[in-house]
Structure 1
Amino acid sequence: VENFDDLDDHFRGNITICSKLGQEGVLVLMQESKGAERSGNTSPRHRILPILEDTFTQYPDRHIFISVYTQSVYQIQEVMAACREANRPLVLYDKELRRLVDGLEEIGIDIPRHLIIPVDRTRDHDNTVILISGQGTPLFKQLSNIANNEVDDVQFSQDDVIVIASPVVPGVETVYKSMENDIYKRGGILKVIDHKKVLSMHASKEDLKMMIFMCRPKYYLPVKGEYRMLCANAMIAEEMGIDPDHIRILDNGQMAVFEDGELVSCKMEAELHDTMIDGKENWDIAGVVLKDREILSTDGVMVLAIGLDAKTKKIVNGPDIQTRGFIYLRDSEYITAECTKIMEDIIRENVEQKKYENLETRSQIRDKVSKYLFKTTGKRPMVLPVILEIGQRQ
């Protein structure tokens, strides 16, 4: 997005190059579509500096936490500019943000180093600004952790202010609402920038039109965005006089093939495969597997191990009980003692009645122990009995 009224050399684009390319002939123009549904130009409606300045003035002696997405480099610079103007100390909270700022300095951006302080000195000043960056869900979870004082390096109090400069993108709504609740419970002040008024830095309708006007492409390919945004972008190109037959919306993996300045095919597709996030094939998504994972995540697991003589079936080792994510054994000896008794009694009874069978006995132990644990604790951990018959010949 061109900032025509930003006189910083780092943000000055040379639009005459686009006009020159248009005169020479542009075969294909591809433009992103994230802002294609918005009227007008993006600049200067993407700026948050006036809001930051008002906030700093409104809360001169309070700690202010500001969230931005890491890719929003311009907003990060706006935060530093606001701190410089108000002479407020600035904490760059995460490592990735500090690396980004170091990179900006390397390319000549003026960084207010005299204002930047380490996170462990946050409370040395009454008006520190803490800048937190990240992506989507992890960013809002980090803010929740800070609001709940679940981090070691910075403390949050009921007088602190949190400014949400990172828009709520699809997929993070639930985490964002949880973060809001955590902040209000702590008594903090939440200020959310209205992103209907302050736009993201994606090209809006008039910006896209300007590029089409200057480049005069023969073919136009909308890219990046949801399908409705791609369609909105395509309609803008049609409004600008591009032949509808020369506008193509490509699906994932679909390739446009050009020969001698002509589009000859869109039929070729790259070979794409689904990549399972956890495991391979479809075994991991079976209902039983998912149910087991749910049990492990909520109620934990109990493993009961015992050793029997292979011939006499007498107990020669154990029982030994281990739990994970269920109970703390040292505080629950009466529970483990009862589970041990249940296991021993079932084995002895089956041996005496000459109906002992390893698999069936383990099943009986599992059922009876599970019922006892639910009655005693209200939880249903995964119970895994192990009966090792020692001395058994293969």
Structure 2
Amino acid sequence: MNITAFEYEDSIIVVDCGLAFPEDDMYGIDLCIPDITYLKDNIDRVKGFFITHGHEDHIGALPYVLREINVPIYATKLTIGIIDHKLGEHNMLNKVKRKVVKYGQHINLGCFRVEFIKTNHSIQDAAALAIYSPAGTVVHTGDFKVDYTPVYGDAIDLQRFGEIGKKGVLALMCDSTNAERPGFTMTERKVGKTFESIFSDHTHQRIIVATFASNVDRVQQIINTAYKFGRKVVVEGRSMVNIISIASELGYLNIPDNTLIEVDQLKNYPDEKTVLITTGSQGEPLAALSRMANGIHRKVKIQPNDLIVFSSNPIPGNEKAVSKIINDLYRQSAEVIFQDTHVSGHACQEEIKLIYSLLHPKYAIPVHGEFKHRKAQAGVAAELGMDKEHILMISSGDVLEIDEDGAEVVGKVPAGSVFVDGLGVGDVGNIVMRDRQHLAEDGIIIVVLTLQGGSGQLLAGPDIVSRGFVYVRGSESLMDEAQHLLNEHVTDLTDRGITDWGKIKTEIKDSLGEFVWKKTKRRPMIIPIIMEV
């Protein structure tokens, strides 16, 4: 997730406000959003959010953050359109001020002036930001690539980068995602040629294409190719339908008449005359393609003659999920293509060098990527002759104080993830997550006993209830032994006149925990419950 605060005197502006998806061991967590404690503590000085483009890792947290910091949002037309849909889902459209910004337009907020600069990315209307302040000019590239032949709109405005560079740039915050890759990122149009080749070679098969919902240019090329080969197009997957609807309404997607059909109409056309564009290219378990591969999609069944095209590369961490989907599709005798059907939306080394050469920044601050990616960009900057002392590898939460006289990290602010679980935001912390991991790994044993009030005499129990520990019917001897151990132990405690509940609970947990460990080498969560009558 991406969020950066810029501060000068009594003014704070924020660039991007993204979310992250939970790791495998974050049980029950739906989303991770940034910790905005510092912004809340300084809410009177926060002037607005500037958004570089409409991907979830740059806009996804806005509905949650704006509940607590309701300031204006500034972004380009398509980005605002996607944000509007997201705010509408949270019933916040009438509560938040949004302003559509054109390329080249300047926004003055407090001590800052912010200019939007045209860039290319895997979603249209991406922008870099030139942030002017009395301390100097900082350029934030956002996510970008240099595409001289984009599917829609103009190429990146390299001329404007050069003009800004001539005036002097204090610091460059540049996208590092592909900084390990030499050369240039291929143009998006290359994928269009690959699609034409695939469609011409598979004229007697139904084609299903899985890609990122937000890649409007990719969707446009699939639609163009389908139209050229006389195929009807079905869009499947909630996020895909939403993005295509927004993009077509705003004029970023050109769909020929009578090309799109509803999924219910598939049965009215021969398979070889249809194309499905679907979500699920990353193996998401609830996405449309996953449900098709598992045979649980209500309206689309994979058939032996189907061709499935993965027009994406697995995001690091998703490889297993994607591989599982591919295997499931192969089991249903479908044909799968997952090579040469995707190009990245991020700049490789030569494009990064080009931006550095145009801007000539005094300081380099590699951003957006894992540490190894940012380290690779630091190497590119050093290769271009930048002073290594001026290449700043900062971490989340670092407070970087920078001007013409120097740059140094002068402190830390709270940073990290706030968990969203259902309707709860931030109510699940590390202790709860540790309990969930414990339960997932070893299960739980609950011991229930009833004591007489005053005397502390045992009236009922102890009874054992377990979940996720062992299958009780298959482990009756183990549970009988545990029951016998507890009976003896509780009887001993009452004989010794111990009536303190805390002491009894501790004794039960210790004795049962030791017994279970010896027998199973497991450490389930043990919760004694004492009732008094």
Cα drift, residue 123 of structure 1: 5.2
Q: 2:310 aligns with which of 150, 159, 164?
A: 164
1:25 aligns with 2:149: no
245-254 or 172-181: which moved more? 245-254
Q: 1:230 aligns with which of 377, 400, 407?
A: 377
Cα drift, residue 163 of structure 1: 1.7
Cα drift, residue 319 of structure 1: 7.9
| Cα distance between partner residues in 2 of 1:107 and 1:29 | 34
1:192 aligns with 2:332: no
Describe the shift of the 1:53–1:348 C-alpha distance in structure 2 as closer, same or farther (beyond 3 A): same
Describe the shift of the 1:37–1:82 C-alpha distance in structure 2 as closer, same or farther (beyond 3 A): same
Describe the shift of the 1:194–1:74 C-alpha distance in structure 2 as closer, same or farther (beyond 3 A): same
Aligned to 1:268: 409
Aligned to 2:200: 57
SS at match of 1:251: coil
1:257 aligns with 2:399: no
- Give structure 2 stretches of 5+ with no counterpart: 1-144, 420-425, 499-503
Aligned-pair identity (%):
19
| Cα distance between partner residues in 2 of 1:15 and 1:356 | 84
Cα drift, residue 104 of structure 1: 1.6
Cα drift, residue 135 of structure 1: 8.5
| Cα distance between partner residues in 1 of 2:489 and 2:157 | 88
Alignment of 1:1-394 (within 5 A): 1-6=145-150, 8=152, 10-21=153-164, 25-28=167-170, 30=172, 31-44=174-187, 47-109=190-252, 110-112=254-256, 114-122=258-266, 125=269, 126-127=271-272, 128-133=274-279, 138=284, 143-194=289-340, 199-212=343-356, 215=358, 217=360, 219=362, 221=364, 223-224=366-367, 225=369, 226-235=373-382, 237-238=384-385, 244=387, 248-252=391-395, 253=398, 255=400, 257-258=402-403, 263-269=404-410, 271-275=412-416, 284=431, 293=436, 296-297=439-440, 300-310=443-453, 311=455, 313=457, 315=459, 324=467, 342=483, 346=487, 350=491, 354=495, 358-359=504-505, 362=508, 366=512, 384-390=527-533
Contact 2:151 2:188 in 1 (8 A): no
Q: What amino acid is aligned across from residue 180 of structure 1 in structure 2?
A: I
Contact 2:280 2:289 in 1 (8 A): no
Describe the shift of the 1:349–1:49 C-alpha distance in structure 2 as closer, same or farther (beyond 3 A): closer
SS at match of 1:57: helix
Describe the shift of the 1:107–1:352 C-alpha distance in structure 2 as closer, same or farther (beyond 3 A): closer
Contact 2:195 2:225 in 1 (8 A): yes
SS at match of 1:266: strand
Contact 1:67 1:131 in 2 (8 A): yes
| Cα distance between partner residues in 2 of 1:205 and 1:364 | 58
| Cα distance between partner residues in 2 of 1:348 and 1:249 | 62
Contact 1:350 1:361 in 2 (8 A): no
SS at match of 1:203: coil
Contact 2:279 2:289 in 1 (8 A): no
More helix by share: 1
| Cα distance between partner residues in 1 of 2:307 and 2:490 | 67
25-34 or 380-389: which moved more? 380-389
More strand by share: 2
The structure that has the greater radius of gyration is 1
- Give structure 1 stretches of 5+ with no counterpart: none
| Cα distance between partner residues in 1 of 2:494 and 2:474 | 30
Contact 1:319 1:340 in 2 (8 A): no
Deviation per residue, 1:233-271 (Å, 9 max, x gap): 314643xxxx5479533423353622xxxx312113452
Describe the shift of the 1:227–1:303 C-alpha distance in structure 2 as closer, same or farther (beyond 3 A): same
Cα drift, residue 166 of structure 1: 1.6
Q: What amino acid is aligned across from residue 234 of structure 1 in structure 2?
A: A
Q: What amino acid is aligned across from residue 27 of structure 1 in structure 2?
A: V
Q: State TM-score, norm by structure 2.
A: 0.54
Q: What amino acid is aligned across from residue 257 of structure 1 in structure 2?
A: I
Cα drift, residue 70 of structure 1: 3.9
Cα drift, residue 200 of structure 1: 0.9
Describe the shift of the 1:223–1:173 C-alpha distance in structure 2 as closer, same or farther (beyond 3 A): same
SS at match of 1:51: helix
| Cα distance between partner residues in 1 of 2:240 and 2:475 | 52
The aligned length equals 366
Q: State TM-score, norm by structure 1.
A: 0.69
Describe the shift of the 1:229–1:362 C-alpha distance in structure 2 as closer, same or farther (beyond 3 A): closer
Contact 1:88 1:129 in 2 (8 A): yes
SS at match of 2:190: coil
The CA RMSD over aligned residues, in Å, is 4.9
Describe the shift of the 1:227–1:299 C-alpha distance in structure 2 as closer, same or farther (beyond 3 A): closer
Describe the shift of the 1:105–1:256 C-alpha distance in structure 2 as closer, same or farther (beyond 3 A): farther
